Amino acid sequence: MKPSLPAVSLLMLSLLLTGPVIGAAQSEVEADRPAEYASPPSAESPTASADVDETTLNRFTDAFVEVRAIHEEYSEKVAGAADQSEAQALQSQAHTRMLQSVRDHGLDIEQFNRIALALQSDTTLQARVSERLEEREGG
């Protein structure tokens, strides 16, 4: 089934919302990995669509849905924060919950980030994730 344009648009918008997980976790991941893994995945990387098995992709999608919900919840809280200190504390809580969500779904942060980065350029992977998002969101 080919994903609809709104589903792909929703997916891409959602990817933008996961920036705090990808960006905030970057230093945590970079400290533990060799320099050759620092660049984004290419078409030949182990994260190419054909190399992401169904179980991992389902875990990613479940984590992605939860991370997006956490982001939405905390965006509202941060916007209503009384001051910068409260906003930073809320952002820290959101970050912690997002990281834990990824781990709770059986992925490490590096796996989640590699798949999320691959989604930016791999249209086959985008279609596979879009299908799963539609299933989970009743589409």
* pLDDT tens, residue by residue, 111-132: 999 999 999 999 999 999 999 9
Token pair of 17 as six digits: 């919302």
Q: How far apart are CA 29 and CA 81, in angstroms?
A: 29
- Relative orientation angle of helices 123-136 and 5-17, to the nearest 10 degrees: 90
Least confident of 2-16, 41-55, 102-116, 125-139: 2-16
Is the pLDDT assigned to residue 14 strictly greater than 70? Answer: no
pLDDT of 104 reads: 98
Domain hosting 67: range is 5-136
Is the pLDDT assigned to residue 108 strictly greater than 60? Answer: yes
Q: Look up the pTM and report it.
A: 0.69
Structural domains in the chain (count) = 1
